[in-house]
Amino acid sequence: MKLLLKGAKVIDYNKEFKGDIYIEDGKILDFGPDLNYDCEIINCNGLVVMPSFIDLHTHFRDPGFTYKEDLYTGSKAALKGGYTFVNLMANTNPICSSMEVVNYVLEKSKELDLIDIHQTVSITKDFDGKTLEHIDSLGKEVKFLSDDGKGVQESVVMYRALKKAKEKNLTIIAHEEDEGIVGVDSRLSENIMTFRDIELVRGTRAKLHLAHVSTKEAIEGIVKGKEEGLPITCEVTPHHISLYDNPYKVNPPIRKKEDVSALIEAIKAGYVDAIGTDHAPHSVEDKKNGACGISGLETAFSISYTTLVRGGHISLNKLSEIMSANPGEIADINKGRIEVGYDGDLVLLDLNKEFKIDSENFVSKGKNTPFNGEKYWGEIIATIKSGKVKYNGGIEVDYR
């Protein structure tokens, strides 16, 4: 299987050139200004080509809530959004606390052959907030633990979880929410838990990834911890960097203008490792009943690109770093860079296209988005995984 992309504007975290990329047996084998290989060709005609995107924070609801999303519709949504790798959270039914659920997800996704998936296992068994023994029986496929959707309330439980994670070289993804105080003050709830967990990392030196950081104080705490050299990484969502004073139901909630500014400043200063979508599809009925979340995979790039790059805050290289290179490194996968030997996973983009978001056109089952009807720049034209076109929104492949 060989594929040559010709005439692209190639961008990754540290490169920018006009030229070609050659993929053989699923891997990037060559790139440069004028390549010649006798194989299938895609004429990119000046389109931007970047490494495909990598999402560390995704909910596909399979098993158990497949009326909201399943592995097939979720994977198709990922591809349409330019993603070829997602990290799935554990709040399914049953909750993913065992290799049985991990294996179900991985086998089904392998059969689908659409994108690559990592399945996160819960920190506490069945999200009970205390039991950690299941962590001992996890296979090497598992890299992340998270009770995302809920915070781990007891400090000593989080302490023990971090100790265990360190022993097994796992990374904990923290959903920072103190349930006691959230009803009184939701930003304090996020801040307190964030500060606590940074302290726990100071005490344990275990790897912690802070999910969907949304407040000024939380990101300031993370900046301090990073400056001290603690092994912490963090992500922000497209919605928390582009919306403020908006009542749309999502957890953590949409914050204030000053929070958005603080998050963007932290991105510019290099303290934010990744854009995480927190793709959280729900049915119309569930949203009516108060479910929190945004169906985010299909709009993440355009919102981030329009807000951060068109908004004049960062370069396209920097966006590639936080949507591909860094999350690829955190997930410890061979993706996210245009580099010989890396996976041939690429996205073709028309950055000069402005379009209106229409959630009825989402391939995700979740049509829940506060961005419906809004105009954004940057359309995904095609997504390539391992040298194969997996999403085609209008390119011609020249089979010769």
Residue list, annotated binding site: 57, 59-61, 91, 148, 175, 212, 251, 278, 282
Of these partners, ligand DOR, Zn ion, none, which one is at the site of residue 119 (CB under 5 to 8 Å by kind)? none
Q: Are 187 and 219 in contact (CB under 8 A)?
A: no
Give the residue with the Cβ less far from ligand DOR, 88 or 348.
88
Of these partners, ligand DOR, Zn ion, none, which one is at the site of residue 239 (CB under 5 to 8 Å by kind)? none
> Residues marked as binding for Zn(2+)?
57, 59, 148, 175, 212, 278
Rounded CA separation 191/182 (Å)? 10
175 binds ligand DOR (CB under 6 A): yes
Ranges of H-type helices in 324-383: 326-330
Of these partners, ligand DOR, Zn ion, none, which one is at the site of residue 250 (CB under 5 to 8 Å by kind)? ligand DOR
147 binds Zn ion (CB under 5 A): no
From 236, 233, 224, select the one nearest 331 (Cα to Cα): 233
Rounded CA separation 128/122 (Å)? 10
177 binds Zn ion (CB under 5 A): no
280 binds ligand DOR (CB under 6 A): yes
Shortest CB 156 distance to ligand DOR, Å: 23
Rounded CA separation 305/142 (Å)? 31
Catalytic one of 62, 178, 197, 278? 278
Shortest CB 91 distance to ligand DOR, Å: 5
Give the residue with the Cβ less far from ligand DOR, 109 or 186.
186
Where does residue 109 fall: left (phi above 0), alpha (psi -120 to 50 degrees), or beta otherwise? Answer: alpha
Q: Which residues pair with 382 in a beta bridge?
A: 348, 392
Give the residue with the Cβ less far from ligand DOR, 51 or 296.
296
148 binds Zn ion (CB under 5 A): yes
Dihedral sign computed on CA atoms, order 356, 361, 384, 119: positive
Shortest CB 210 distance to ligand DOR, Å: 13
From 88, 123, 135, 147, select the one nearest 331 (Cα to Cα): 88
91 binds ligand DOR (CB under 6 A): yes
Rounded CA separation 328/90 (Å)? 20
Of these partners, Zn ion, ligand DOR, none, which one is at the site of residue 81 (CB under 5 to 8 Å by kind)? none
Interface residue with Zn ion, options 116, 278, 321, 345 (CB under 5 A): 278
Rounded CA separation 80/84 (Å)? 10
Q: How far is CA 199 from CA 12, 153, 162, 190, in A?
A: 34, 15, 11, 14
Ranges of H-type helices in the chain: 71-80, 99-112, 155-167, 186-204, 216-227, 238-242, 257-268, 284-288, 300-304, 316-320, 326-330
Shortest CB 364 distance to Zn ion, Å: 15
From 130, 128, 225, 334, select the one nearest 210 (Cα to Cα): 225
Rounded CA separation 181/179 (Å)? 6
193 binds ligand DOR (CB under 6 A): no
Of these partners, Zn ion, ligand DOR, none, which one is at the site of residue 298 (CB under 5 to 8 Å by kind)? none
Shortest CB 347 distance to ligand DOR, Å: 25
Is 278 noted as a catalytic residue in this protein? yes
Residue the block writes with tokens 């011609």: 396
123 binds ligand DOR (CB under 6 A): no
Interface residue with ligand DOR, options 51, 149, 327, 336 (CB under 6 A): 149
The interface region with Zn ion, picked from 142-150, 237-245, 303-311, 313-321 by CB under 5 A, is 142-150
62 binds Zn ion (CB under 5 A): no
> Residues marked as binding for substrate?
59-61, 91, 251, 282
Rounded CA separation 333/328 (Å)? 5
Interface residue with ligand DOR, options 58, 214, 251, 364 (CB under 6 A): 251
Starting from the edge strand earliest in sequence, which strands make up the sheet with 274-275, in order?
144-145, 171-174, 208-210, 232-236, 274-275
Q: Contact positions toward Zn ion, by CB under 5 A?
A: 148, 278
Q: Contact positions toward ligand DOR, by CB under 6 A?
A: 59, 91, 148-149, 175, 250-251, 278, 280, 292-293
The set of catalytic residues is 278
